[in-house]
Amino acid sequence: MEYKIVINEFEGPLDLLLHLIKESKMEITEIRIDEITKQYLNYIETMEKMNLDIASEYLIMAAELIEMKSRSLLPNKQNSEDDYEEDPKENLINRLLEYKRYKEMSSLFEDLELNRKQFYTKKPEDLRNYQEQEVIEEEYDINLLIDALNKFLVRKQKEKPLNTKITKKEYSVSKRNVEIKNILLKKKKVKFEELFDVYKKDYIVVTFLSILDLIKKQEINVVQENNFSSILISIKE
């Protein structure tokens, strides 16, 4: 059989042997040592003629193939169990099968790596800006607002005592409603505690009742963007 030598880069002698077996359309388990040895030596000879460096492992494999070919030409002799010696051809077939599995798995991983490169990732970012703001529902806004008011009073209590003196100025819910809406029209959005700018008992009560009244009339929005964050109040457009 004539064999056309094609010079390729191989990863080692087993890689070269697999290439030769494939080109010869052989099965690994039915490898013909004499034919493969001839093709392998032709490859080595071609490399030498081209003044290419030949790795020692290729020469070692060449020696093994020549030895196997020589053995195949000798008459078979029956070995006793005590004189058992591993068949070099069988050993080579097992090495080729193992290397082929390794090569196929390497090819699979290369394909997976190539597919993974088709995906592009980016660093995590804060997605809260894209979330819809949580509007306080009427069913539970009172408890939430009362809690916010209590926290506000605790902070103020540490600063100075609450002024409980009776004054002539009277506060009404309707009047405070107008004041709050004017503040919101000007500032667009304010924190809940900012509406309690006067620290007097009657003023605090009226302001709180006014906020509840405006919520009931659906004239303002009450928003808490995150748990435990400040409650924001804005005018409803």
CATH number, residue 141: 1.10.10.580
Residue 2 lies in a domain: no
Q: Report the distance separating Cα 61 and Cα 170, nearest Å.
A: 107
The pLDDT profile of the chain, 237 residues, written as one tens digit per residue, is 444 444 456 778 888 888 888 888 888 888 888 888 888 888 888 877 776 667 788 888 888 888 888 887 777 655 545 555 678 888 888 888 888 888 888 878 877 788 877 777 777 776 666 655 554 544 445 767 777 777 777 776 666 555 555 455 577 888 888 998 888 888 888 888 888 878 788 888 888 888 888 888 888 888 877 766 778 888 887
Q: Concatenate the DSSP letters of all residues of 26-65 into one string.
A: --GGG--HHHHHHHHHHHHHHHHHTT----HHHHHHHHHH
Tell me: do 96 and 157 sit in the same domain: no
Tell me: do 141 and 205 sit in the same domain: yes
How many domains is the chain built from? 2
The pLDDT tens digits for 104-152 are 888 788 777 888 777 777 777 766 666 555 545 444 457 677 777 777 7
Q: Report the distance separating Cα 31 and Cα 20, nearest Å.
A: 10
- Give the long-range contacts of residues 41-44, CB within 8 A, separation 24 or more: 41/65, 41/66, 42/3, 42/5, 43/5, 43/7, 43/16
Determine the structural domain holding residue 152 and report its residue range: 130-235
pTM: 0.40
